[in-house]
Structure 1
Amino acid sequence: MSDLDLRHLRSFLAVAQERSITGAGAVLHLTQQAVSTHVRQLERSLGVVLLVRTSRGVLLTAAGEELAAGGATVVDDVDRLAERVRAVAGAQAGTLRLACCPAATSLFAVDVADALEAMVPGLRVMLKGAQHPRHELELLNDGSADAAFMWLPVGDVGLHHAVVRSDPRAVVLSPRHPLADRSTVTLADLAGDPVVRPDVLTSPEAERFWMADPRPGGGPAPRGPLVPGVEDCLLEVGRRRGIWLAPQPLKALVPAGDLRWIPVTDAENFDLAVVWHDRAPQPLITRLISEVRGITGHEKRLHAA
């Protein structure tokens, strides 16, 4: 049955219904020759004789009667499946609201929105700028956004996520810091430096991760000043009141004057993810994840792994 062609089956069912190849052709808007060819190909695929031609039309064999009885159900099931698929695709038209911090996503957010709108007719993608991760979480929780781009971990907040990019970690240092001229550093090199903390993260778990706490030896990371936002972190670093650990891409997106951004070779990467709630339109979320991974190259890395 794996070789059964639906076109051939539809032609046979029309012949069985009309008891005439000519009549079936009229119903299907096909030539008599095309209908006859479909029936012969179906018989060849199944290895049976399905009908016998007579001067008054056709007679079904026992095998033909069996196929006529069950074939209509098969065709109906396929038709209903096609309708469900089209309904799901049609339901995608509407609005998808994406919350994002411009510093984290400006390299690809506009491209993603344009690509999704091009793929899904009638879809409108709204990019909702958020001031910081906690603001993104508020937009998700109050229903103002369907999904958001956020660095993990977010914390145990009842949301789903899928990683779309992995970013190396860097330390931001004052140019007067003793390590400012190094090309790379380790967490051990930074063991005595207090870490500035922006008061915008979504959970204690997230804060610990951004601080690389605990350190590889199990000791705590020194806590530096708690400041309102990212820009304040840079100001504190510039005044030598601490260091800041951040995803390397922020170097190109956050003005930092003459501060030094130095890769930390033994620190975990930051994973950027699409984060969404249960009420979000899942088919669109799936397309969103695939599109972002394609732009960032994360899909290739997943397959390579």
Structure 2
Amino acid sequence: MDWELRHIRCLIAIAETGTLTDAGLALGLSQAQVSRTLRALEAAWGVVLVRRQAREAVLTEEGQAAVVRGRHLLEIAGRLDAQMSGQRSLRLGYAWAAAGRHTVALQRGWDREQPGIDLALVRVNGASAGLAEGLVDAALVRTAPDARRYESVPVGVERRVAAFAADDPWASRSRVRMKDFAGRRLLVDTRAGTTNLQLWPAGAGPAGVLEVADIDGWLDALAAGRAVGISSEATAQQHRRQGVRYRVIADAPPLQVRLAWHRGEAVPGLEALCGLLRRLYGWSGYDA
């Protein structure tokens, strides 16, 4: 493996600035040094990462993929460096909404009770909210994670809400029921969402789905009236958008919020985090 982190930093700088010259300015290198570093990385991998054009540098498909993975790699390297140098931190991932209305209280309570460990909230759209990518130490998830890879405990329960455009006929209602989705088009995030057609009996649910990539795409589609959505009340509490309305779904099954982490891994402050979350949510159920 004939490349180093400096090669990755160089590629990311090119992607962010758009030219080799500007990448050099950002990194404190000459344009020639940036060019040599890029060529060395391309030679090591045997692919073209950047196509040099007259006034810009355009990433190839392989270059774009390398930048995405490279950012993850630099993040992990930074965390390792901080840990080895004695800095204590706990990175808590989430996909759409952290702890909903409890998010501010979570951060303030943590700073008060655990001043020696920095708590960082990290949004990563994915089923494991960053655990699978190694970007976080623990994650708040609303679907049960793979028990072979992750340990998890419940910390709270949230209601499901319907989401729709402000001028939708549902806007005049105080509540929505699951049967009301029949014949409507449903927004679904296949990577991190908690909603799918299995929530309804066969033939009784929405007429079809419109897939979105993340919470921002979900909100944009809602505001435009392209479809309706279902999410946890935490989404409604943390993502208020002009043109979007939320209503509690009276008969929807609730969502269990779980704290998850890599199986067998010791996470500093994890027990304290679990306790704080349970107090905020008022959890009094079982650990299973």
TM-score under structure 2 length normalisation: 0.59
SS in 2 for 1:136: coil
Q: 1:269 aligns with which of 235, 250, 254?
A: 254
Q: Please point out which of 132, 143, 152 is paired with 2:125.
A: 132
- Residue in 2 aligned with 1:117? 114
Aligned partner of 1:287 in structure 2 is 272
1:125-274 alignment, distance < 5 Å: 125-134=118-127, 136-137=129-130, 140-154=131-145, 158-201=149-192, 207=193, 209-211=194-196, 213-216=198-201, 219=204, 221-274=206-259
**Among 90, 99, 103, which residue is 2:97 paired with?**
103
Q: Aligned-pair distance for 1:179?
A: 2.3
CA offsets, 1:256-291, max 9 Å, x none? 213221111111112221111124326842332112
Given residue 171 of structure 1, which amino acid in structure 2 is its aligned partner? A
Deviation at 1:237, TM superposition (A): 1.9
Which structure shows the bigger proportion of residues in helix conformation?
A: 1
1:255 shift after superposition: 3.0
Distance 2:262 2:112 in 1: 22
What secondary structure sits across from 2:220 in the alignment? helix
1:260 alignment partner AA? R
Aligned 1:286-305 pairs, distance under 5 A: 286-298=271-283, 301-302=284-285
In the TM superposition, what is the alpha-carbon distance from 1:95 to its structure 2 partner?
A: 4.0
1:174: how far off? 1.7
The one-letter code matched in structure 2 to 1:302 is G
Distance 2:199 2:266 in 1: 38
Q: Give CA deviations for 1:109-152 in whole Å, capped at 9, x if unaligned.
A: 4135324515xxxx423314123234723xx2344422111222
Conservation of the 8 A alpha-carbon contact between 1:102 and 1:129: no
SS at match of 1:275: strand
Distance 1:141 1:102, change over 3 A: closer
Please tell me the residue identity of whatever aligns with 1:290.
Answer: G
Q: Indicate the RMSD between aligned Cα atoms, in angstroms.
A: 2.9
Deviations 1:57-94 (A, max 9, x none): xxxxxxxxxxxxxxxxxxxxxxxxxxxxxxxxxxxx95
Higher CA-based Rg: 1
Query: Shift of residue 101 of structure 1?
Result: 4.9
Q: How many residues align?
A: 197
Q: Give 5+ residue unaligned stretches, structure 2.
A: 1-86
SS in 2 for 1:234: helix
Structure 1: stretches of 5+ with no match in the other structure = 1-92, 202-206
Return the alpha-carbon distance in structure 2 between the equivalents of residues 277 and 101 of structure 1. Answer: 17
Runs of 4+ displaced beyond 4 Å: 216-221
Tell me if the contact between 2:145 and 2:152 (Cα under 8 Å) persists in the aligned partners: no
**Maintained 8 Å contact 1:169/1:263:** yes
Say if 2:157 and 2:281, in contact at 8 Å, map to a contact too: no
